[in-house]
Amino acid sequence: DDSNPPFMYDKDGKASGLYPELTIELFKRIGAAVSVKAYPWKRVVMMIDKSTAGVAGIYKNKERLQKYDYSDPIGKESIHLFVKSDSNISFTKFEDLKGYRIGINVGWSLGDEFDNLKKQALFTVDEGKSTILNFQKMKKNRIDAVACIYEDGLLQIKELGISNEVKSLPKEIITNEVYITFNKNAGKTALLKKINEEIQKMKADGSIQAIYDKILK
């Protein structure tokens, strides 16, 4: 993704953030060449569907499991709802969101339950090109809430100077594990085996946690 700081984003034409740094270190350790690029998420999904690239920082869902091979998890992301400070919206279960307009990033899946309820039109989903654009939509009352990764949301409202105008609801919508993924037709089974072995080593020696601590400090 090219617009999901601090996890993955484009900075002056270079892939930056937690997942690019973790991926580069991981491939360095297994002695495999890798080129890490940041693209809009919709394009990323098209690329993995065509087997022209792998993806770092992607969730599982039923549809994707039919098409992609997954590594062991490299981390977790908690998705929260951000609303205006004077909003009466609360969240303990998805039914609480009935009738509301929820902004998410283009092409994102927030898990099978959210995706299914979106199809059933329990709530309206408005897809924006980035989290920051979704917050701008909410400021103009075009949507009622923004669903995004907690750290990303905090960063964007600070960048926009609206920290006093927006609040995060305490209960997360979902916490998703994130993975490195390839299309099943890409023939990356042997590579994924090496990746998984190294992920376990990096978890054991604290390397993955050190990267998280560095980027999310």
pLDDT in tens, 186-209: 999 999 999 999 999 999 999 999
CA distances to 62, 128, 215 from 186, in Å: 19, 30, 31
Question: Is pLDDT above 90 for 170?
Answer: yes
CA distances to 50, 81, 197, 206, 212 from 203, in Å: 31, 30, 10, 5, 11
**Tokens of residue 19, six digits:** 């997942």
Closest CA to 28 of 198, 200, 170: 198
Question: Is pLDDT above 90 for 217?
Answer: no
Q: How far apart are CA 70 and CA 60, in angstroms?
A: 8
Assign domain 3-75+175-216 to a CATH class.
alpha beta
Query: What is the CA 157 to chain-centroid distance, rounded?
Result: 17
Which CATH number among 3.40.190.10, 3.40.50.620, 3.50.50.60, 3.90.1150.10 corresponds to the domain 78-174? 3.40.190.10
**If pLDDT is split at 50, 70 and 90, which confidence band does 163 have?**
very high
Residue 3: the pLDDT is 84
pLDDT (mean) for 76-94: 97
CATH 3.40.190.10 intervals, the chain? 3-75+175-216, 78-174
**In terms of pLDDT, which residue wins out, 184 or 4?**
184
Residue 176: the pLDDT is 92
| pTM for this predicted structure | 0.89
Question: Is pLDDT above 90 for 39?
Answer: yes
Residue 140: the pLDDT is 96
